[in-house]
Structure 1
Amino acid sequence: MSDKQTPIPFSVTFVAGAIAGISEILTMYPLDVVKTRVQLQDHTAVGNDRYNGMVDCFKKIIKQEGFSRLYRGISAPILMEAPKRATKFAANDEWGKIYRKAFGSTEQTQALSVLTGATAGATESFVVVPFELVKIRLQDKASAGKYNGMIDVVRKIVANEGVLAMYNGLESTMWRHVTWNAGYFGVIHQVKSLLPKQETKQGKMLNDLVAGSIGGTVGTMLNTPFDVVKSRIQNTTRVPGVTPKYNWTLPSVALVAREEGFGALYKGFIPKVLRLGPGGGILLVVFTAVVDYWKAMKA
């Protein structure tokens, strides 16, 4: 992501990633709520508890629970987005430097972009798991009478399931973030090499938007099955001595496919790709704009 002629300090990539992440979530959050609701419903959902796609989910949430429900739980993602996106871009930049040095490469090749993105995704996972857990619990329809906000979720999880329960779903989160970041950063590298070179600021921004949107779409295609099972794993209250239905990622993927069909692994794909496709473009454009501002201030 960084200009090889101008090394970008970790602090700059961290701040740029944080600003990019918050910009994206403020724009796209309702789609995330809808995505989670659709992913959590299994084959037993009926009546008003069943969503027949993205539009139906939007309509039922607004009609039954009010428009503000589309922003329920946003405090956790906002608190998460700064460290999450900052870690994503900063880790991608730092791991890129490490890999280029290790492999004796002066440039960020396609293979290194995929490897770097995957490693950055794994790094990012450790930051986001507790926030994701709180967000999923709040986004679930059943949470209305169960939790009174973010702090209450944390308090009840710790009290009822233990402190380590805040990291439930770490393994599935790593699967989700490794695949998305590998696809996102790998595709950005390839798409940018194919797009016409732009000399104007507006042209470069357009290239970033196109490359980031395509990267976000491909990343979403790769990681949605892992996202579906991650949502279900994290929404399961752990009971001592009882093995939850959804526990480890790959067995859970197989279970969903067996009980609900392969298509169920792509539940919530449309709102997810509508968020993370353009969202990936927003991320890249804002991140690049902040870095360019730093370069201009330094010059």
Structure 2
Amino acid sequence: MSSKKEKPLHSLVAGATAGAIEAFVTYPTEFVKTRSQFGGKKEGPLTIVRNTLKVQGVKGLYSGCSALVVGNSIKAGVRFVSYDYFKSGLADSEGKVSPARSLLAGLGAGVMESIFAVTPSETIKTKLIDDAKRPNPQYRGLVHGTVQIVKQEGIFGIYRGLFPVMMRQGANSAVRFTTYTTLKQAVQSRARPGQSLPTSVTFGIGAIAGLVTVYTTMPLDVIKTRMQSLEARAQYRNSFHCAYRIFTEEGLFRFWTGTTPRLARLVLSGGIVFTIYEKMIILIGGRDV
């Protein structure tokens, strides 16, 4: 992010727009990643895509998409507003943020987004994807699925897996923003004062941030998916029990199941989100000079 301060409302609008576009563009990779992390027979990404297209067609790759688009839009808005707020409070007199302080600001942003947006949308999305692979799906879409989940499990049904989501999002935002901010400040230090970075450079820095994020937070993502599946209540007492069972019954490398599709998504996600965010902020004049 820039050392200049973004206005909260504009940061929210730019972040929400970037999040919605990114979620729709990259959703098939999220679908494949989520399907590969469920228990049972292990399937490779290409097998999942082939079987889904054969049975459900292209729309099958977008099962649960609306939940993620809505949730991702809110999530990105909350993430950028929260990060800008924490970052401005931790910046030095010149507006620069050290890697350690950026890590702290990102952690705070991740916790905020997990509570207000990610957990409900991820839980609903995961259950819709899990349900879609059944012979007779019980959910007819986002609204019907949400109503049924709340009716069957109560309001806490859409907050299942809150702890692993908070851990994952906190780690995600901390690693992603720290990597992005550090790389951007390094590149800007070599540029002329006041010069904007080219779109290709912004996209590349965001993509690298996504790459680093994937490998460092993948185990938390797997635990999150398992805790939000339809069978979670019958199989796991809590997140630690879930992690223990995965490790003892399926092995250490199971924690990195779904890395390839998640890597594809977060590399694209990092590039798309940061690029669109920066362009939107400039377009709507949301940055204080």
- TM-score, normalised with respect to structure 2: 0.90
The residue identity in structure 2 corresponding to 1:220 is: V
Q: 1:108 aligns with which of 74, 97, 101?
A: 97
State how far apart, in whole Å, the 1-side matches of 2:162 and 2:14 are: 26
State how far apart, in whole Å, the 2-side matches of 1:208 and 1:177 are: 22
Which residue matches 1:118? 107
State how far apart, in whole Å, the 2-side matches of 1:89 and 1:269 are: 25
Structure 2 counterparts to residues 193-208 of structure 1, below 5 A? 193-195=185-187, 197-198=190-191, 203-208=197-202
Question: Which ranges in structure 1 are unaligned for 5 or more consecutive residues?
Answer: none
What secondary structure, in the 3-state scheme, does the structure 2 residue paired with 1:195 have? helix
What secondary structure, in the 3-state scheme, does the structure 1 residue paired with 2:105 have? helix
| Per-residue deviation, 1:149 | 1.1
| Higher mean C-alpha deviation, range 160-169 or range 246-255 | 246-255
Which residue matches 1:28? 26
State how far apart, in whole Å, the 2-side matches of 1:283 and 1:250 are: 32
State how far apart, in whole Å, the 2-side matches of 1:297 and 1:114 are: 22
State how far apart, in whole Å, the 1-side matches of 2:215 and 2:105 are: 19
| Per-residue deviation, 1:108 | 0.9
What secondary structure, in the 3-state scheme, does the structure 2 residue paired with 1:145 have? coil
The residue identity in structure 2 corresponding to 1:146 is: Q
- TM-score, normalised with respect to structure 1: 0.87
Which residue matches 1:14? 12
2:272 is the alignment partner of 1:278: no
What secondary structure, in the 3-state scheme, does the structure 1 residue paired with 2:6 have? coil
Question: Which ranges in structure 2 are unaligned for 5 or more consecutive residues?
Answer: none
2:28 is the alignment partner of 1:38: no
2:170 is the alignment partner of 1:181: no
The residue identity in structure 2 corresponding to 1:125 is: S
| Structure 1 contact 161–237 (Cα < 8 Å) conserved | no
Which residue matches 2:252? 262
Q: Which has the higher contact order (CA 8 A, sep 6+)?
A: 2
Identical aligned residues as a percent: 27
Alpha-carbon RMSD across the aligned residues, in angstroms, is 2.4
2:73 is the alignment partner of 1:82: yes
**CA 1:217–1:250 in 2, change beyond 3 Å: closer, same or farther?**
farther
| Structure 1 contact 16–287 (Cα < 8 Å) conserved | yes
| Higher mean C-alpha deviation, range 117-126 or range 80-89 | 80-89
State how far apart, in whole Å, the 1-side matches of 2:104 and 2:287 are: 32
Structure 2 counterparts to residues 202-217 of structure 1, below 5 A? 203-217=197-211
State how far apart, in whole Å, the 1-side matches of 2:89 and 2:26 are: 33
Aligned length: 284
| Structure 2 contact 83–108 (Cα < 8 Å) conserved | yes
**CA 1:295–1:87 in 2, change beyond 3 Å: closer, same or farther?**
same
Which residue matches 2:227? 233
What secondary structure, in the 3-state scheme, does the structure 2 residue paired with 1:134 have? helix
State how far apart, in whole Å, the 2-side matches of 1:77 and 1:293 are: 26
